[in-house]
Amino acid sequence: MSTEKLKKILAEFDSSGATELEYEDTNFRVIVKKNNPEISSNEGNCLDHQILSPLVGTYYDASPAIRIDEKIKEGQLLCTIESMKTMNKICAPTDLIIKKIYFKNSDIIGYNSPLFEVDYI
């Protein structure tokens, strides 16, 4: 496999939402896994005025904990979800105000469960 072809495959993998890539041809095999615990909730995990969980796991409040009617800046930590012993940070996709928090510390959450109800600023 040429270096250019490998670079192209890795670039496409890096820009995708995939977390694992396995590629094999006649005399070359590569396996790549992403281990990025910071997941921004603006990656398809917003629904109208809700921020949804991108994965199954255990919910933990941000530190310091956010409160109802608090103004949140883009990129600010909203909560952490532990999944498979990895702490995944859920950050604000844009400036917003928290209107409702659906979970408390140590609650088990499912994929696409609403985490927060928000108003976008």
Q: What is residue 26's DSSP assignment?
A: T
Average pLDDT over residues 62-91: 92
Specify the pLDDT at position 39: 47
Give tens-digit pLDDT for 3-61: 787 777 777 777 776 777 777 777 777 777 665 544 444 444 555 689 999 889 999 99
The chain-wide mean pLDDT, for the chain, equals 82
What distance in Å separates the CA atoms of residue 108 and residue 83, rounded to the nearest whole number? 10
**Domain shared by 95 and 114, yes or no:** yes
Query: In terms of residue numbers, what domain contains 17?
Result: 3-33
Domain count for the chain: 2
Angle CA 56–58–64, to nearest 5: 125
CA-CA-CA-CA dihedral for 94, 98, 100, 106, to nearest 10: 80
**Domain shared by 8 and 59, yes or no:** no
